[in-house]
Homo-oligomer: A and B are copies of this chain.
Amino acid sequence: MDRKLVYRFAQERAEGRAEWRALLGGKGANLAEMANMGIPVPPGFTISTEACVDYLKDGKLKRGLMPAVRASLGWLEELTGKGFGDAANPLLVSVRSGAQRSMPGMMDTILNLGLNDATVVGLAHKSKSERFAWDAYRRLLTMFGDVVLGIDHQLFERTLHEARRELALKQGLHLPGDLETLARLIPDSVLEAEQLRRVVEQQRLLLDSSEGKFPTDPYEQLEAAIEAVFQSWNNPRARLYRRMHDIPDEWGTAVNIQAMVFGNLGETSATGVAFTRDPSTGERMFFGEWLPNAQGEDVVAGIRTPRPLTSGAGPAGESLEELMPENFRELFEIQHKLEAHFRDMQDLEFTIEAGTLYLLQTRNGKRSARASVKIAVDMVHEGLLHQDEAILRVEPERLEELLFPAIDPKAQVKPIARGIPASPGAVSGKAVFNADDAESLAKTGEPVILMRAETSPEDLHGMKAAKGIVTARGGATSHAAVVARGMGRPCVAGCSQLTVESDRGRAHVLGPDGRELATIDQGSVVTIDGFSGALFLGEVPTVTASLSAETEELLGWTRQVQRMRVRANADTKAQAEQALEFGADGIGLCRTEHMFFDEERILAVREMILAKDAESRARAVNKLLPYQTADFIELFRVMAGKPVNIRLLDPPLHEFLPRERAQIDELAHGLGVTALDLERKVAELSEFNPMLGHRGVRLAISYPELPRMQVRAILSAACTVAKEGLVVKPEIMVPLVFDLGELNAMHAITEQVAAEVFEEQGQQVHYKFGTMIELPRAALMAHELAKQAEFFSFGTNDLTQTTLGVSRDDSGGFLPQYVERHILPEDPFVSIDKNGVGELVRIAVEKARVTRTDISLGLCGEHGGEPRSIEFCEQIGLNYVSCSPFRIPIARVAAAQAALRRTRRYWH
């Protein structure tokens, strides 16, 4: 038997149900569900998404579809007592798309189907309003022309403008210069029947002169409309929306065909939208807008100002509650019933036709991040949800919005350029183009935005001084992005329209055609939005937020269901404190190199690099010892009782040397060497592919003085803090390892230094020794490495770079295209590449546990704060993830959700 393609619904008898969203789309499934609940909905039927999928595959409607549609129309005629195409008593229907997940405004809708030159007369007669009938017809023609025939919407508007102009002249009004003001002056509702008839006439001419033609046969109209809605699944904006919201192209849309009801049949008619709670704040209050004598689109269009639903929410006497108390009471009960039934905040559309209330749609309402948390938590208190369900209700990624200032949604502004949203938050400040300027300007108290072609560790002091960072190159895991996130600074990276001329103190913004749109001079005020990647000229108002009581409560619940711990990537005391505030279980990655860039230290670092032998190198390195020790003492104190994972020096040495002429001269002078010698050293250390160069453990092997000093600093600090009576849990982590031999060498140094320090201090501390897994070979050799390592931390940033052979800093030229063309499902630097990188992690986990069953396994790449990656970590059984302090709330919710899903206590 062929599969059923059409599912009918009418009050208290529907063939579908809410759970069949995949088949009927969200709208169709919920219409069926409402009907079954006894809620008044205009009767109709839903064509399944399967029919759409078939249509898109075959390029034509499935053979059995139109017969089934005709049969259902017959049923609808019977139910309504009207006839489709019946000139005397015409049945009109709406045709609406409805996908499994809501894609508001993305696909097409046609209303008033069934009208033609004959039935319009019948409608006028039945509705007792010629004006209404011609208006309905004109709306059908506009939508049909636009949606089915692809005729420019503006052409239809023009016919309407003619009518408006005529009316304005007739009423002796001054004609405004632009059409929009005219439209505002003369709303459609004042156009007279005759004018509308003429508009229809003109629009018919327009349609018939196009390639297609307006079919007068209602069945032909319907078939064309169904095809158009199916096709609209693949229109560009729908495709883009799906990509942005991770909706598979394979789903297709359902089509809902429903008897029309009219909110514009006079003063006992109305239409409106409502939310069961406030979608901005999440507060529990019935909330919505309505218009008397109007169609739904009038509410949305913004030409007439909608009125509040409830009394007290606006001027007296305007609310539905006051003007149509009966209908309001019915609606209020329905909203309550729907919310309790769907156990979520609902977004409703209703129409009152001549005193009778119809619900046109209910769906889970979109809401702000703040509201989503409040509603979930409130619903737990109301007994509607279990705590675990509440956790699953929150989109973890969106919690970020609660932690950073955002562009004021009311601001009417247009960005001058867009880059990659690299670190969240919105901020304004004066543009500067190098780190020193950032620092000196910031010292005067000015908010500063640092704009660079790209950043390097040399820019750190400038990034610290700046309120926000913009780079022309690099992606979401570039140096700028990683550091900015760690510091909690908003950042827009890879803004390729920008050309930064740091030596000239200005930047150019180019348009897509390569022409210059603007020049940003040093000191010009700009605003950046790290949520969207937008760059604005001038100051744009922002709104700030902080963790709400409900968020704190929800986060408290996550702790009871999380299996994985959540640690922070934190290098400084301030970051560690921030991390603790957000509930970090420890530090998963402390990058010691950031400590090397401080002004007082960098000279010693450079001395070390330029040392001619091991002895003078050791002397220079040891100048750093007191600084490093002091750093770690601070960290251990803040993190008392919690593990602190410290990574030994990782970046190549050339990152610590200056690159520009003037700086080289200055440094040479300071160190008492010739500029030529220094230049030679810089050249000697420069690398073709620094990512794959002399860094990580390779440095430690070449210059054992370095790890020796660092281990001494870590363990001395640990002993000091232990003597204060605090519990210290240091973890010493070796970076960029690919062979056990490297770990053996580092372990020998560690053990030797530990013995010395413990002897000197008369104090023992327990420490762990382990390694990053950030190269494919390390993953493949995990069984070997686990012989020496008590823990692994997967560095999936570098592991992604090497596994895919993609430099994150150079990927801007092709990776976006890969995602767009679906060669990769998503940016592997944003969400872990499960097939490649994930497979290596999985192999490593398996091999490591064979050698050492109790090995501690974590992940400290950028993926550690990304929900889908966290879910993957849960699935393969890691012990913890580690992320930027500001992503900890996200990671905690994501870890809790992942644990719930894995154990299938609640399937989402």
Contact = CB atoms under 8 A, between A and B. Distances in A.
Interface in A683-731: 687-694, 698, 701-702
Interface in A785-805: 798, 801-805
A821 interface: yes
Contacts of A690: 688-689, 810
Contacts of A698: 813-814
B836 A776 contact: yes
Interface stretch (A191-199, A212-220, A589-597, A733-741): A733-741
B813 A694 contact: yes
Contact of A688 (B745, B807, B813, B836): B807
A245 interface: no
A694 B816 CA distance: 12
Interface in A460-518: 499, 514
Given A802-B802, A807-B692, A777 B701 contact: no
B777 A809 contact: no
Contacts of A824: 739, 741
Contacts of A741: 818, 821-824
B803 A776 contact: yes
A316 to B, nearest CB: 62
Contact of A804 (B701, B775, B811): B775
A809 to B, nearest CB: 4
Contacts of A784: 835
A344 interface: no
A689 B776 contact: no
Contacts of A702: 813-814, 817
A840 interface: yes
A806 interface: yes
Given A801-B692, A802-B802, A813-B694, A738 B807 contact: no
Nearest to A800: B777
A688 B809 contact: yes
Contacts of A798: 805
A179 interface: no
B689 A818 contact: no
Contact of A823 (B701, B781, B821): B701
Contacts of A774: 805
Contacts of A833: 777
Interface in A809-844: 809-811, 813-814, 817-818, 821-824, 833, 835-837, 839-840
A810 B780 contact: no
A437 interface: no
Contacts of A775: 803-805
A499 to B, nearest CB: 8
Residue among A680, A835, A837 with max Cβ neighbours from chain B (10 Å) = A835
A227 interface: no
Contact of A777 (B687, B742, B803): B803
A824 B781 CA distance: 13
A738 B805 contact: yes
A226 to B, nearest CB: 32
B776 A694 contact: no
A839 B691 contact: no
Contacts of A612: 514
B776 A802 contact: yes
Given A741-B824, A823-B741, A839 B780 contact: yes
Contacts of A701: 814, 817-818, 821, 823
Nearest to A685: B813
B738 A804 contact: yes
Contacts of A817: 701-702
Contacts of A802: 692, 776, 802-803, 805
A736 B689 contact: no
B742 A823 contact: yes
Interface string A168-202: 00000000000000000000000000000000000
Contacts of A514: 612
B776 A687 contact: no
A92 to B, nearest CB: 46
Contacts of A810: 687-690, 692-694
Interface string A240-256: 00000000000000000
Contacts of A736: 805
Contact of A745 (B823, B836, B840): B823
A745 B817 CA distance: 13
Contact of A780 (B680, B742, B822, B836): B836
A656 to B, nearest CB: 15
Contact of A781 (B809, B822, B836): B836
Interface string A856-869: 00000000000000
Nearest to A687: B810
Contact of A840 (B738, B780, B806, B818): B780
Interface in A659-695: 680, 687-694
A738 B802 CA distance: 11
A738 B811 CA distance: 14
A807 B736 CA distance: 13
Nearest to A652: B810
B807 A689 contact: yes
A561 to B, nearest CB: 32
Interface in A225-279: none
Contacts of A806: 692
Contacts of A837: 777
Given A738-B836, A835-B780, A836-B738, A692 B691 contact: yes
Nearest to A694: B813
A833 B776 CA distance: 13
A711 to B, nearest CB: 19
Given A736-B805, A807-B689, A822-B741, A694 B835 contact: no
A556 B836 CA distance: 44
Contacts of A835: 777, 780-781, 784
A740 to B, nearest CB: 9
Residue among A612, A698, A742, A822 with max Cβ neighbours from chain B (10 Å) = A698
Nearest to A479: B688
Contacts of A781: 835-836
Contacts of A805: 691-692, 736, 738, 774-777, 798, 802
Contacts of A776: 776, 802-805, 836, 840
A745 B840 CA distance: 26
Residue among A687, A817, A823 with max Cβ neighbours from chain B (10 Å) = A823
A679 to B, nearest CB: 12
Nearest to A774: B805
A397 to B, nearest CB: 25
Interface in A577-619: 612
A689 B479 CA distance: 14
A148 B162 CA distance: 116
Nearest to A813: B694
A261 to B, nearest CB: 47
A697 B736 CA distance: 28
A626 B784 CA distance: 54
Contacts of A742: 823
B836 A777 contact: yes
A180 B802 CA distance: 60
Contacts of A839: 780
Interface string A759-777: 0000000000000001111
A508 to B, nearest CB: 11
A420 to B, nearest CB: 16
A781 B687 CA distance: 30
6 contacts: A689-B689, A691-B692, A694-B810, A701-B823, A777-B837, A780-B840
Closest 7 CB pairs of A and B: A741-B823, A777-B836, A692-B807, A689-B807, A776-B776, A693-B810, A775-B805
Given A689-B692, A694-B814, A701-B817, 5 more contacts: A688-B809, A689-B690, A692-B806, A780-B835, A780-B836
